[in-house]
Amino acid sequence: MTVSDDDSMRIQTLPGLREQVAERLRMAIATGRFPPGARLIERELCEMLGVSRPSLREALRELQVDGLVTLQPNKGLSVSIVTPEIARLIYEVRAALEGLAARLFARNATEEQLKALRRSVNHLADVYEDFSADAFITAKTRFYDILLEGAGNPIAADMLKRIHTRASQLRVVSLSREERAKQSIKELRAFLDALEARDEDLSYRLCVAHIEAAAIAALEAIDRKLGNSAGEGDRLRRGQSTS
């Protein structure tokens, strides 16, 4: 990683500095600006972000807790590598927690929250039409903010936000294929219909199915990068077809 003339990552304001630094780094990792395995050199990051080393180190410690950054002996910090096995485990946890959130949203959400979620999905559809990683991550974060607020369980929300941080890398990978992006929006619209009908069971099933489909797409993309002819994505697809 090298420092460029791009000032887009520089921190502009002081309040909540650690949170701002951590969020900028999360976005850079999620969108692939800092790819898996990339070394994170403090001097370069301080110059890029326009912050002091103490502020940067606080933010990096937070990212270590989230699993986005790994400290390797004698090598320093680097962006964590998501192996097929880790990716599969991330999606398993997502399915369990988001399925719960779907049930709770169908039960507890206000009419305004339902309308806001519908608007967020419409915006996602626009993003898919002119895809960029930054716009997608921002739009999907908004979708989940509304879903988790409407679910009304702050413990589940906190756990899911940590999972979503790691899943962001996988989302961008899976949606880089046009057919998956189109299918994803269809799944989300069906999910919305179930939520608006206040059908908790159907909302749960559609939510889990959406995550399972995303898992297959992401794992197949990872397998292609690794050159695996029959990896986790293929095995997961076969497992679903026989269930």
Q: Write down the pLDDT at residue 21.
A: 94
> Residue 4 pLDDT > 90, yes or no?
no
Indicate the length of the chain as a whole number: 243
Which residues, at least 6 apart from 105, have a Cβ–Cβ distance to it below 8 Å? 113, 117, 147, 150, 151, 195, 203
134: confidence class by pLDDT, cuts 50, 70, 90: confident
181-199 confidence digits (pLDDT tens): 889 999 999 999 999 999 9
> Residue 238 pLDDT > 70, yes or no?
no
Which residues, at least 6 apart from 34, have a Cβ–Cβ distance to it below 8 Å? 1, 25, 28, 40, 79
**% of residues, the chain, pLDDT over 90:** 57
- Asked if residues 42 and 56 have their Cβ atoms less than 8 Å apart, the reply is yes
Q: Hey, where are the domains in the chain?
A: 17-79, 84-241
Q: What's the burial of 242, exposed, middle or buried (CB within 10 Å: 0-12/13-18/19+)?
A: exposed
**% of residues, the chain, pLDDT over 70:** 84
Paired tokens of 95: 């399915």
The CATH homologous superfamily for domain 84-241 is GntR ligand-binding domain-like (1.20.120.530)
> Residue 1 pLDDT > 70, yes or no?
no
> Residue 230 pLDDT > 80, yes or no?
no
Q: Residue 22: CA atoms inside 13 Å, Cβ hemisphere, count? A: 20
Q: Write down the pLDDT at residue 240.
A: 57
145-184 confidence digits (pLDDT tens): 999 999 999 999 999 988 887 887 777 666 656 678 889 9
Mean pLDDT of the region 46-66? 93
Q: Write down the pLDDT at residue 232.
A: 56
The dotted CATH code for 17-79 is 1.10.10.10
> Residue 14 pLDDT > 50, yes or no?
no
CA angle 52, 56, 62 (to 5 degrees): 155
Long-range contacts of residues 36-39, Cβ cutoff 8 Å, at least 24 apart: 36/79, 36/80, 36/81, 36/82, 36/169, 37/78, 37/79, 37/81, 38/1, 38/78, 38/79, 39/1, 39/75, 39/76, 39/77, 39/78
DSSP conformational letter for 229: S
